[in-house]
Structures are given as C-alpha cells and as structure tokens.
Amino acid sequence: MRDTRESRLLLVLLIAIAFALITVDIRGGQESPVDGARQAAAAVFGPVENGVAAAVDPVGNAIGAVRDSGERHTRIAALEKENAELKAELGSDDRNRNRLHELDTMLKTAGAGQYGIKGAQVIAIGAAQGFSWTVTIDVGARDGIKRDMTVLNGSGLVGRVTTVGPSTSTVLLANDPDFTVGTRMEKSDELGFATGQGDSPLLVQLLNGKAKVKPGDRLVTFGSRADKPFVPGVPVGEVVRVDPAGGGLTRNIYVRPYVGFTKLDIVGVVVQAPRSDPRDMVLPQKPKPAPTVTVTVTPPPPDGQQANQQNQGQNQNQGQNQDQAAQGRDQNDGQDQQAQQDQGGVTP
C-alpha cells in the first residue's frame, strides 16, 4: 500500500475501532458483546497454538523420536547417533528437572488445600483482545474447563480463566491491572482486596484502616460465592510495605506475589473446590530461626599481673617440691631406724 492520505486515514480509523472494541470489552465484563468473537478466535487459533507448542517442545520431540526409533533404525550406531542428537536438542536436563519439580510442588499445594485440579501447560503469552497480562494454556472445554475457574501453581495464585475454547483457555494473571481478588491476612483474618500492578507489587486495600500489619505478613484468597472465580486458601503473597495509617476507613499495603508471572510453565486449573476452607494450611511453613551461639572471650591479664602469676606459680611449685623432698628424707630415716631395730633383735 502506497503512503497516501487515504491510507493514513484508514490506519487511524482501524486503530480507533480497535481501541473502541477494547474499551467495550473491558467495560462489558462477562456480558461483553465481543465475547462470542473471542471464543470463536480461541476455537480457531487454539489448535494452531497447541501445534506450535508441540512442534517447539524438545521434550515432546524427544519422546516422539524415541518412540519411532525402533521403526526407522535397526543398527546400534544409528541409535547412538540419534541419542546424541536428542541430547543436543534437549541441552541439559535442568529444564526437565525443573518441570518435574514444578509439577510435584503443585500437586502438594493442591493436596494441602484439597483442590481438585486439571494440570496444564502454558503455550502462549499475551492475547489478541488487548494489552493485558494473560497466558494461554493447553486445556479447554473438552477437558472440563469453564470460565471463572481459579488457576494456581506450586507457589500460589496465578489467575483466573477468562476465555475457554475447545482445546485451549485464556488466563488473566493476578498482576494484571484489571485483576481483583478478595484476600485474608494470615492469623489476624483482616480482609481486603488485591489489585494487580504489572511488574510492581500487588496493591491490597484492607477494609480495616486501623489493622496492624507489618512486612512479612502473608495473605491468602478469601474465596468467592460458589467458589467462582476464586476458591479460598490459595497463597497470594507477602507484605513488603505498609502505608502509614491516616485515620481513613481503609489502609493500603503492598504485597509481593509468590508466583513469578514471567516464568510460568506448569499450572493447574481448580475444577473442584475444597469441601471446607483450608484457611492457612496451604501456606508453607515459616523457617525456624537458627539458634544463637554465645561465645565468651576472657581477656588476658596485663603483662605485670601475668608475670606475678607466673612467679607465684613457680614459687608454689618450688615449695611443693621441697615439701615432697623433706617427706622422702623423713621416710628414708624411718626405714633405716626400723632396720637397725630389727637387726638388734636378731640372736647371732
């Protein structure tokens, strides 16, 4: 297209229409008029994203190659060559070990909270409907996923499902500015609402303006009605800063989320809520403080005192030696006198 006045007007018009659709979508929420189009796009592009993710996944390629190796190669040399190629493709085993660790941690978290989850993998970042913090996961309606389900991983709250296609779903992350979740403070049970701030800590507005909060305090999800979109007890984060109490009805605190939103891989969608609120049971145990070791150092005496102590010790040693020598002489004299008496009493 040539750079003409008409082309520029067309570009401006398209940009204006795009921003208008984004505004209507955000304000519409669940009743958004473009929700149908978004679901249709998910149905069309979801399989493509799944296919691309499978194509570039080295683990999947390795499994497929090993499975087909018996059909394509019969000689040991060929198998060894293929094995070397797979190792080069996989690189180190660190990624596989990390993924297994993530899966194990997520299962432990789900077990602690009694959440029924559906495991999933992040296959795409971002979404076509705007500039929000979202990811696409490889499970959808065919796997029992529905809109407004809680998404978590081994660290805590990831987000909630916003769009569901046949085989993929879109998840709005907890650090998105349009994301809000009810929270409850550990132990004190103070309630509040957490809002995402992108790369910055979550902003939590406590309902009690006089609540006593300090850095290091922890929060979990309060839960929603009918457990949608949020189930209770999911770890949210840790307080890093507290605004001074200004006498208002609410109080702002800032929370560092447990989840690293820029390195998501294995996640779980909560398809079954717990029978009872797990409260703080899902939070990890706080590390016990290390015992304090007390070392007492006795300073050495001054030089004069040290010399006097050495002289006193030498005098004591000399006195003890003289006493021992005198006692030895007395014992020898007694033995000689006894021998003379014995000799005098013998008849020649």
Query: For 40-73, what is the HEC assignment?
Result: HHHHHHHHHHHHHHHHHCHHHHHHHHHHHHHHHC
**Looking at per-residue confidence, does 231 or 339 come out higher?**
231
Q: Are 16 and 22 spatial neighbours (Cβ–Cβ below 8 Å)? A: no
8-state DSSP, 262: G
pLDDT tens for each residue of 76-105 = 566 566 666 666 655 556 777 888 889 999
pLDDT tens for each residue of 199-254 = 999 999 999 999 999 999 999 999 999 999 999 999 999 999 999 877 788 899 99
pLDDT at 19 over 60: yes
Query: What is the three-class DSSP state of 133?
Result: coil
Contacts of 306 (CB under 8 A, 6+ apart): 300
pLDDT value of position 43: 57
pLDDT tens for each residue of 108-152 = 999 999 999 999 999 998 854 456 899 999 999 999 999 999 999
| Category of 148 on φ-ψ map: left (φ > 0), alpha (ψ -120 to 50) or beta | left
Tokens read off for 97: 């070990």
pLDDT at 62 over 50: no
pLDDT value of position 26: 53
pLDDT value of position 293: 67
pLDDT value of position 176: 95
pLDDT at 28 over 70: no
pLDDT value of position 348: 35
pLDDT tens for each residue of 305-325 = 555 555 555 555 555 555 555
Q: Of the candidates 137, 211, 208, which has an alpha carbon nearest to the alpha carbon of residue 169?
A: 137
**Residue keyed to tokens 């003289």:** 322
pLDDT at 189 over 50: yes
| C-alpha to C-alpha distance for 346 and 348, rounded to whole angstroms | 6
- Say how far residue 42 (Cα) sits from the centre of its chain: 30
